[in-house]
């Protein structure tokens, strides 16, 4: 059997990066051939007439940006008004369990056991 290798050909199952880019502007019609792709990276939107494999300005719209994460973040404030009080995390003070059903297991040592 003869294997034919084509260098620089179009890979099968490709999809343009513009479909998942934050700067991509895609207009699709009813037919598969009716699609216009524009890039908003530039001052004037440029039409892209081919599927894009790599782009230096690519930003994945499926991932949240730093600004998006700051917008949805919870801002914790102290209810007492004291700036020295820790907010949001438990301190390292150990309390005895209140129920008799609870058993405290000893911590596992990372050092190997010595044979006695």
The residue to which tokens 């991932």 are assigned: 63
Residue 104: pLDDT band with limits 50, 70, 90: low
For residue 39, name the pLDDT band (cuts at 50, 70, 90): very high
Asked whether residue 48 carries a pLDDT value surpassing 80, the answer given is yes
Q: Check residue 85 and give its pLDDT.
A: 58
Q: Residue 57 has which token pair?
A: 């300005």
Quote the pLDDT of residue 38: 92
Global pTM reads 0.47
pLDDT, position 30: 92
Beta bridge partners of 26: 37
Average the pLDDT over 94-110 and give the result: 63
Distance in angstroms (rounded) separating the CA atoms of residues 47 and 62: 22
Centre a 10 Å sphere on the Cβ of residue 20 and count the other Cβ atoms it contains.
14
- pLDDT, one tens digit per residue, over 53-98 is 889 989 888 888 888 888 887 765 555 566 665 555 555 665 666 6
Per-domain residue ranges of the chain: 13-56
């Amino acid at each position: 059997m003869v294997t034919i290798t084509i260098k620089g050909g179009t890979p099968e199952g490709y999809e343009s990066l513009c479909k998942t880019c934050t700067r991509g502007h895609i207009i699709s019609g009813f037919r598969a051939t009716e699609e216009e792709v524009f890039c908003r990276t530039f001052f004037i939107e440029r039409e892209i007439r081919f599927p894009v494999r790599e782009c230096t300005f690519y930003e994945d719209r499926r991932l949240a940006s730093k600004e998006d994460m700051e917008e949805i973040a919870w801002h914790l404030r102290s209810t007492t008004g004291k700036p020295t009080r820790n907010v949001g995390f438990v301190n390292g003070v150990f309390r005895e369990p209140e129920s008799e059903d609870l058993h405290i297991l000893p911590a596992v040592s990372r050092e190997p056991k010595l044979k006695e």
